[in-house]
Structure 1
C-alpha cells in the first residue's frame, strides 16, 4: 500500500513538473508571437488591400481592386496582372522590419538613408476598412542585403531586408496583364488560321477530343497537335506594349496583317489575334487583338509552329501491317 501511495505521489509530482514546462514553453511561444507581431510594418492583411499607389521619380502607378480582380487606373486604364500583384502584397504587407535604427526622424538621418533622394520609392496601401498606410523605401546598405524605410505616420527609421523593396519596385509593364488571348483550349468551338496570301485553315471542335479540319479540305485533325497549338496561343505573353492609341496601323504592318488567328470559345465569344511586321528594336512581332485599339509586341518566335497547311494538323494514318 505504501509503495502504491509513493508511486501516486511521484506521478503527481512529475505531472506538475511536466505541466510547468508546458506552461513555460507556451508563454515563451506566445511571447515570440507577440514580438514578431510587433515587428510587422502594417496592421492589415494582403487580402484587405483594395487600392495601392506606387510613386518613384516621375512615375505614378495606381491600382484598384474590383470584384476580386485588379485594374490599373493610372497612368492608364488596363487589366492588372493578378498573380504579380498578389505576390507583391504578400511580400510587403506581411513584411517585418529587421531593426529600429532610430526612434526619431531627422533630415540628416533621412538623407543618409536615401529617403527623399532620387532612389526613393513610396507605396501607399488602402484597406477595405478605409485605413491607409504609406511606406517610403530608401537606399540599401553597403552589403546590399538590407535596406532602409520609414512609415509616414511613424517617427522611427527601420532596417529591413532589401528584397522587400525589390518585390515592391514594379513597373507599369510588371503590373499589367500580359495575356494575349484568354480562352480554355479544350473547350473552344472552332479556330481559324488565316495567312496574308489567302491560305485558311479552319478546325471545328464538335465534342471533347474530336477535331475536324473543314478548310482547306475536310480531314480529321490530330488531337495532340491541336492541343499543343492552342496552348501555345493561350500561353503566349505580351513582351512589350507598343502603342495605346495608334493613328496608323500600317506603321506596324497591321493594316495588311501577316497572320490572323480567330477563335470562338465555348460561350460563343469571338476572339481574334492579328500579327504584323517585326519589331526589330524589341526583337518581336507587332500584334493586336480584334476589336481592341492598342498595339503590343509578341516574342519573335510566336509564329514558329503555327501551321501553314492543313496537312500539318492532320491525324497520322496508320499503315496496314504487312503480312
Structure 2
C-alpha cells in the first residue's frame, strides 16, 4: 500500500515539474519572440510617409499642426495623423511567424502592401512594412525593411493605415477665433445686415440700429467654424469655374472681421432630385462641398438676428426692483440672505416667490413687432407712462440698471420702451395683469 502511494506521488511530482519547465520555456519564447517592432516617442516625430500601392502621402509637422505636403499641399487633420503616429509608437509583436522567410510574397510583404516611415526631429527615421491580414484573427503580417523575419502585429492598426487621403485632410475650411470677431456683414438675395460687437454685446448697424441677439450671432459663428467639408470639388479653382458650383452668384455671402478678415460664399446647386451646397473662403482657393444643412444654419435674416427681448437679464440676478404706479413708487430689495423686502412706501415682509414670478414675466417679454424711430412717444402713451419699472441686477460684481416704460394698450398688446433704445416694443399685455391693485397681495403671509 505504501509503495503504491509513493509511486502515485512520484508520478504527480514529475507531471508538476514538467508543467513548470513547459511554462518557463513558453515564457522564454514569448520574451524572445514577442518584443516590439518599433519604439519611439510620438512627440519626437515631425514627418511621416505612408506608401500603399501607387499612392504616397507625406505629412509634415509645423509647430503643433500637421500639413499634407504630398500629393499636394493642404492642412491635415491633426487628430487623425497624431493617432497614426501614436498607434505605431509602441508597436508590439503578437507573434513571430517565420524566422528567415524566403517567400515574403505570400504575406503581402514583397512588395509590401503598405510602408510607413517616420522621421524624428534629429533626422533619424524608423520604418515598417505591413502586408496582408492573417485569415484566422485579422492580425497583420509585418517586417522591418532590413530583415526577413515575419511578425504579426495587432489588427486594429489596419484602420489607420487604410484611411483615405480625404480622411487625413482637415475638413474645417473656415477657421478663425470666434471671440476675436468684432463685425459681421451678411448678404443674401437682396437682404443685408451689418452687426458689430461692443464689449460683450452685439448691435445691428443696418438695416436698423438695434440690439442684436448675442445667442443667434454666436450660433452663426459656431455654424461657420464648425462646418466640415464632405468633399473637395476643386483644389485650386479659377474664376470661370465658380459658375459650375453656383458660386458666381452665391446664395449667401458673409464677411467676418476681427483679428483677420475672411469672406465666405455659399452656393446652392440644384439638379433634378439633388441639392448640393458648395462654399469658398477668401483665404483659400478650394471649393468644398458641405452638408445641405449648412445653408439653413447660416441663413440668418435681419429679423432673425435682432434681439426681441425687451430687456436681457436673468431674474435671479436682480437685487432691487421698483414699480412707479400712478406717481407712487414701490421699492423692493433683497437682503443679505436673498430675501425680498418692501422698502417703499413702507417696510414690509414680502412673498419672494410673487416678485420672482413677476420678474420672470418681464425677463420673458418679447416683441411681436417693433416701431423704429417713433416721431412722438405721446402717440404710444409713453410720454406719461402707465407704469415705470426699474430693475437693478448684479452679475460678477457689476451692477446694471434697466428702466422700462409701459404705454397705451390696444386689444391684447401694449407699447413698451426700454430707455436704452430709441425704438418701441409691441408686446403681449398679459404681464400687466400680474401687477396687484394693492401690494398687500404680495405681503408675506
Asked whether the two chains share a fold, i.e. TM above 0.5, the reply is: yes
Alpha-carbon offset, residue 38 of structure 1: 6.9
Larger Rg: 2
Mapped to 2, the partners of 1:238 and 1:36 lie a distance apart of 48
- Cα 1:37/1:113, change in 2 over 3 Å: closer
Question: Which one of the candidate residues 89, 95, 100 is aligned to 1:99?
Answer: 95
Identify the residue that residue 21 of structure 1 maps to in structure 2: none
Identify the residue that residue 41 of structure 1 maps to in structure 2: 37
Question: Which one of the candidate residues 286, 292, 314 is aligned to 2:278?
Answer: 286
Identify the residue that residue 237 of structure 1 maps to in structure 2: 228
Cα contact 1:92–1:168 (8 A) shared by 2? no
Identify the residue that residue 59 of structure 1 maps to in structure 2: 55
Identify the residue that residue 253 of structure 2 maps to in structure 1: 260
Cα contact 2:118–2:125 (8 A) shared by 1? yes
Q: TM-score normalised to the size of structure 2?
A: 0.59
Cα contact 1:186–1:227 (8 A) shared by 2? no
- Cα 1:37/1:250, change in 2 over 3 Å: farther
Regions of 4+ moved over 4 Å: 34-38, 279-283
- Cα 1:35/1:194, change in 2 over 3 Å: farther
Q: TM-score normalised to the size of structure 1?
A: 0.80
Identify the residue that residue 25 of structure 1 maps to in structure 2: none
Could you say what the CA RMSD is over the residues aligned between the two structures, in angstroms?
2.6
Where 2:303 maps in the other structure, the secondary structure is helix
Mapped to 2, the partners of 1:181 and 1:279 lie a distance apart of 23
Identify the residue that residue 432 of structure 2 maps to in structure 1: 322
Cα contact 1:288–1:296 (8 A) shared by 2? yes
Mapped to 1, the partners of 2:276 and 2:145 lie a distance apart of 43
Q: Which moved more, 1:165-174 or 1:282-291?
A: 282-291
Mapped to 1, the partners of 2:110 and 2:254 lie a distance apart of 49
Identify the residue that residue 122 of structure 1 maps to in structure 2: 115
- Cα 1:205/1:38, change in 2 over 3 Å: farther
Identify the residue that residue 215 of structure 1 maps to in structure 2: 206
Where 2:174 maps in the other structure, the secondary structure is coil
Alpha-carbon offset, residue 301 of structure 1: 1.0
Where 1:303 maps in the other structure, the secondary structure is helix
Question: Which one of the candidate residues 179, 194, 197 is aligned to 1:202?
Answer: 194
Unaligned segments of structure 2, at least 5 residues = 1-26, 310-364, 366-426, 434-445
Mapped to 1, the partners of 2:33 and 2:61 lie a distance apart of 26
Q: Which moved more, 1:280-289 or 1:225-234?
A: 280-289
Where 1:179 maps in the other structure, the secondary structure is coil
Question: Which one of the candidate residues 79, 86, 93 is aligned to 1:90?
Answer: 86
Alpha-carbon offset, residue 231 of structure 1: 0.9
CA deviation digits over 1:122-148, x for unaligned, max 9? Answer: 111111122222212111122453121
Alpha-carbon offset, residue 36 of structure 1: 11
Question: Which one of the candidate residues 150, 157, 162 is aligned to 2:155?
Answer: 162
Mapped to 2, the partners of 1:212 and 1:237 lie a distance apart of 29
Cα contact 1:283–1:299 (8 A) shared by 2? no
Higher relative contact order (CA 8 A, sep 6+): 1
Identify the residue that residue 276 of structure 1 maps to in structure 2: 267
Q: Which moved more, 1:37-46 or 1:230-239?
A: 37-46
Alpha-carbon offset, residue 67 of structure 1: 2.3
Identify the residue that residue 70 of structure 1 maps to in structure 2: 66
Alpha-carbon offset, residue 187 of structure 1: 2.9
- Cα 1:153/1:240, change in 2 over 3 Å: same
Where 1:288 maps in the other structure, the secondary structure is strand
Cα contact 1:190–1:202 (8 A) shared by 2? yes
The number of residue pairs the alignment matches comes to: 285
